[in-house]
């Protein structure tokens, strides 16, 4: 079955040669609903082996035991599911630029397929590999319903400018996935990964403990069906209520690729549950694709200077406004501020690796208000988000940080101290939305 051409993007112009097809798995760590793996399977056809390679980079962008544990457990499930289809799974420790080339030479690989990922680190790996390889390196967008490279060729200003482009194309791209077929021509079975010795060899930062959420493709599908069955109706009202915990909590499964956002969109679109559907589809398609669009076209996506000029100007004009409260990075990290509500949010983050979307905005905006300057505020938001969120180091997180601190994809509001015309939020706003007392006692006692 041919996958949609627009999902495929050649990263070099080498010709395919004989030998196995290699799928270099990175962002989409799942077996089914994976356009990159489906394309690699299509290239393998009936007469070539197909090998899947994951390059494990210890301490990737500051990842701790929390994220690594979640990811490794998910990869163990990938190894099992691939074996059942006669597809070898290799895991190599170290620099992907070297490991991919080594694997290609070792196995006599004829072509390599890998995942689209707008993050600078991934683009760098792929560029390096594409220029060294003598065989094709083919990028497939397995993360977006409408491929990021097709939906727009520039940084979009806001959801309202991207939404019509997505709506126009979604009927063409919101298609169901074919099942991944077992391999006909299996490679010699690879030795199973020795997960135990791998873990002991990794210098994982154990100061951030694993979380209760069960990782992996099957747990992700269970979470999706639970959300569609119970979380969708009333989603429109309750999605901003952190006590109701009404959100889909699928973000960690999307981040590690255990679940395709397209699968979630298909399940929700097909659920027939009217009111929550439209709101959720806006988030899982438009908002998520807006984040990939921003990171793809703005290399300063993880810096304050990736923010729109109007916001940088207004924050600069208010740089020397008095700060009634000031906290250091360590005080924020330890949830030691004067605000019980803010401390409850930070405690939820420290303990559960998750913070509800609405609280994330309040939490980040207060860091802007209580930091010495916008640059250090933004750095604190990104550092804490990436260290403690299970879904940190993700385009969604970088966009969320800049939306909260510096008005990205938002508009100017009435001016006030410190914020300038960046949107203000406070605990009264939270109190209007949900039972803040219940939330505080849930996390502070």
CA 242 from chain center: how many Å?
A: 21
Distance in Å, CB of 46 to ligand FO1, minimum: 29
Contact partners, residue 432, CB within 8 Å, separation at least 6: none
Which pairing describes strands 137-140 and 21-25: parallel, antiparallel, or unpaired? unpaired
Which pairing describes strands 8-10 and 137-140: parallel, antiparallel, or unpaired? antiparallel
Say how many C-beta atoms besides its own lie within 10 A of residue 175's C-beta.
13
Q: Which is nearer to ligand FO1, 94 or 324 (CB)?
A: 94
Q: Which is nearer to ligand FO1, 399 or 430 (CB)?
A: 399
Contact 422, 330 (CB under 8 A): no
Say how many C-beta atoms besides its own lie within 10 A of residue 339's C-beta.
18
Contact partners, residue 374, CB within 8 Å, separation at least 6: 304, 315, 316, 319, 368, 405, 406
Q: Which is nearer to ligand FO1, 3 or 55 (CB)?
A: 55
Distance in Å, CB of 187 to ligand FO1, minimum: 21
Q: How far apart are CA 264 and CA 250, in angstroms?
A: 9
Number of H helices, E strands in the chain: 21, 6
Q: Which is nearer to ligand FO1, 241 or 292 (CB)?
A: 292
Distance in Å, CB of 98 to ligand FO1, minimum: 13
Distance in Å, CB of 119 to ligand FO1, minimum: 5
Q: Which is nearer to ligand FO1, 122 or 442 (CB)?
A: 122
Say how many C-beta atoms besides its own lie within 10 A of residue 108's C-beta.
11
Q: How far apart are CA 258 and CA 222, in angstroms?
A: 11
Distance in Å, CB of 302 to ligand FO1, minimum: 12
Q: Which is nearer to ligand FO1, 125 or 235 (CB)?
A: 125
Contact 264, 232 (CB under 8 A): no
Contact 115, 25 (CB under 8 A): yes
3-state secondary structure (DSSP) of residue 291: helix
Distance in Å, CB of 124 to ligand FO1, minimum: 12
Distance in Å, CB of 351 to ligand FO1, minimum: 18
Distance in Å, CB of 273 to ligand FO1, minimum: 29
Q: Which is nearer to ligand FO1, 258 or 356 (CB)?
A: 258
Contact partners, residue 317, CB within 8 Å, separation at least 6: 420
Q: Which is nearer to ligand FO1, 121 or 226 (CB)?
A: 121
Which pairing describes strands 21-25 and 111-115: parallel, antiparallel, or unpaired? parallel
C-alpha neighbours within 13 Å on the C-beta side of residue 368: 32
Distance in Å, CB of 239 to ligand FO1, minimum: 23
Q: Which is nearer to ligand FO1, 75 or 425 (CB)?
A: 75
Distance in Å, CB of 18 to ligand FO1, minimum: 27
Closest to 42 measured CA to CA, from 75, 8, 10, 76: 8
Contact 232, 280 (CB under 8 A): yes
Contact partners, residue 47, CB within 8 Å, separation at least 6: 184, 185
Q: Which is nearer to ligand FO1, 116 or 227 (CB)?
A: 116
Q: Which is nearer to ligand FO1, 241 or 289 (CB)?
A: 289
Residues in contact with ligand FO1 by the rule CB under 6 A = 26-27, 55-57, 60, 63, 67, 71, 117, 119, 255-256, 392-394
Q: What are residue 201's phi and psi, to 5 degrees?
A: -80, -15
């Amino acid at each position: 079955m041919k996958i949609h051409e627009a999902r495929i993007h050649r990263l070099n112009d080498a010709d395919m040669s004989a030998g196995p097809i290699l799928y270099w798995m990175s962002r989409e760590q799942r077996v089914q609903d994976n356009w990159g793996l489906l394309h690699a399977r299509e290239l393998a056809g009936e007469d070539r082996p197909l090998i899947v390679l994951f390059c494990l980079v210890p301490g990737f962008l500051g990842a701790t035991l929390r994220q690594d544990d979640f990811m490794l457990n998910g990869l163990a499930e990938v190894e099992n599911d691939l074996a059942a289809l006669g597809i070898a799974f290799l895991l190599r420790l170290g620099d992907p630029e070297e490991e991919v080339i080594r694997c290609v030479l070792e196995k006599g690989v004829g072509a390599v397929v890998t995942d689209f990922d707008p993050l600078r680190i991934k683009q760098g790996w792929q560029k390096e590999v594409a220029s060294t390889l003598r065989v094709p390196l083919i990028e497939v967008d397995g993360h977006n319903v409408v491929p990021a490279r097709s939906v727009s060729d520039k940084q979009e200003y806001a959801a309202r400018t991207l939404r019509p482009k997505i709506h126009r194309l979604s009927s063409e791209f919101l298609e169901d996935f074919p099942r991944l077929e077992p391999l006909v021509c299996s490679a010699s079975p690879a030795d199973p990964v020795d997960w135990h010795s791998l873990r002991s060899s990794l210098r994982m930062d154990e100061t951030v403990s694993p979380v209760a959420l069960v990782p992996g493709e099957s747990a992700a599908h269970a979470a999706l069906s639970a959300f569609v069955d119970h979380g969708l109706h009333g989603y429109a009202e309750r999605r901003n209520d952190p006590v109701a915990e009404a959100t889909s909590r699928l973000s960690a499964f999307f981040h590690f690729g255990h679940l395709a956002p397209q699968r979630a969109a298909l399940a929700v679109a097909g659920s027939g549950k009217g009111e929550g559907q439209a709101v959720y589809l806006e988030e899982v398609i438009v908002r998520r694709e807006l984040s990939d669009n921003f990171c793809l076209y703005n290399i300063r996506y993880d810096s304050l200077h990736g923010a729109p000029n109007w916001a940088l100007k207004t924050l600069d004009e208010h740089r020397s406004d008095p700060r009634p409260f000031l906290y250091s990075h360590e005080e924020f990290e330890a949830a030691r501020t004067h605000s019980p509500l803010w401390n409850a949010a930070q405690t939820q983050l420290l303990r559960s690796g998750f913070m509800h979307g609405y609280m994330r905005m309040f939490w980040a905006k207060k860091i802007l208000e209580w930091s010495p300057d916008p640059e250090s505020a933004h750095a604190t938001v990104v550092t804490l988000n990436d260290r403690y969120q299970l879904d940190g180091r993700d385009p969604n997180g970088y966009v969320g940080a800049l939306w909260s601190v510096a008005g990205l994809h938002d508009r100017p509001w009435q001016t006030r101290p410190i914020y300038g015309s960046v949107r203000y939020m406070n605990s009264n706003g939270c109190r209007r939305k949900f039972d803040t007392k219940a939330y505080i006692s849930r996390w502070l006692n």
